[in-house]
Amino acid sequence: MNWLRLVRAELRKLTSTKMPWAFFTVLVAVSATTASAVVWGTDMDGSKAFISTAVDQQSLMAFAANAFMIAGLFGAIAVAREYGHGTVVPTFLAEPRRSRAVSAQLTAVLFGGGMLGVVGAGLTALAVAAALPTTEYTFMISAGSVTRLLAASAFAGAAGAVLGAGIGAVVRNTGGAVAGAVLVLVIAPPLIVQLSTDASSWVPSTLTNVLSGIGDEVGVPGALFALAAWAIVPALIGLLAVERRDVI
């Protein structure tokens, strides 16, 4: 019961600043870019083959990889700013057992990341649906596939946010946490693939494609587990760091 109060407090923290609006603006910008691509974009041969089939449209609308990265930044900022502004102090005064306080924070961030994923995927689907009438193609994706895109994006957003939160808890400085998140989300995966091509099936972009139904390198359960592992490992490191360190 007490823990749920902490989660509620953490959710209020997330929603009582302009940060959600900033991320919403990013989602709108991404979906607008996607819509622009539908309206004005062409393949190399000048055709619009990239939206000519249901699979193509599903691939264009797959937002999960973006959700993982955007929510990763969201989680990193949400947690690191707590340390930067010192607002983590009243949190630990209200709940001195830090593992409970951090788990509440991770839960709230997970929920926020999931929301970002759903909203991002929803806006993208709406943008594509709105843009397609300007072309010769219709909206071909089934309701089931749209649902899967939304679910994949929600899961990826939640996982990305938890990953970012773990980095934020370790780094504790907003700028540093953002840089750390970019390193883990954007720079590290290609380097890992370069070191071992076998690892390409397990980097976030591949896993989110599997979840979105546009890739089959691994099974869906494996993708769920692996993407969760990408989130849980830094979150556990962050939790351990918070438990061991002095707060201020």
Partner 1 sequence: MTLVGAIPATALSENRRADLARPIEIDHVTKRYGPNVVVDDLSFTVRPGRVTGFLGPNGAGKSTTMKILLDLASADSGRATIGGSRYRDLRDPARTVGVVLEPNAFHPGRSGRSHLRILADAAGLPVTRVDELLELVGLASAADRRVGAYSLGMRQRLGLAAALLGDPPVLVLDEPGNGLDPQGVRDLRQLLRSRAAKGHTVFVSSHLLAEVEHLADEVIVVNQGRMVTSGALAELQDSATLVRTASPARLTEVIVAAGAAVQLQEHDTILVRGIAIDEIGERAFEAGIALHELSPHSGSLEELFLGWTGVTTAEDVTVPTKEVVSV
211 binds partner 1 (CB under 8 A): no
Q: Which residues contact 210 (CB under 8 A, 6 or more apart)?
A: 216, 217, 218, 219, 220, 222, 223
d(CA 139, CA 53): 9
Among 29, 49, 54, 93, the residue binding partner 1 under the rule CB under 8 A is: 93
* CB closer to partner 1, 174 vs 209: 174
CB of 102 to partner 1, least distance (A): 13
Burial class (CB in 10 A: 0-12, 13-18, 19+), 199: middle
Least CB distance from residue 163 to partner 1, whole Å? 23
Count the neighbouring beta carbons within 10 Å of the beta carbon of residue 122. Answer: 18
Residue 21 binds to partner 1 (criterion: CB under 8 A): no
Question: How many residues form the binding site for partner 1 (CB under 8 A)?
Answer: 27
Q: Of 15 and 47, which CB lies nearer to partner 1 in the complex structure?
A: 15
Query: DSSP states of 70-87 as a string?
Result: HHHHHHHHHHHHHHHTTT
**Closest approach of Cβ 130 to partner 1, in Å?**
33
Instruction: Return residues touching partner 1 (CB under 8 A).
Output: 2, 5-6, 8-9, 12-13, 16-19, 81, 85-87, 89-97, 246-248
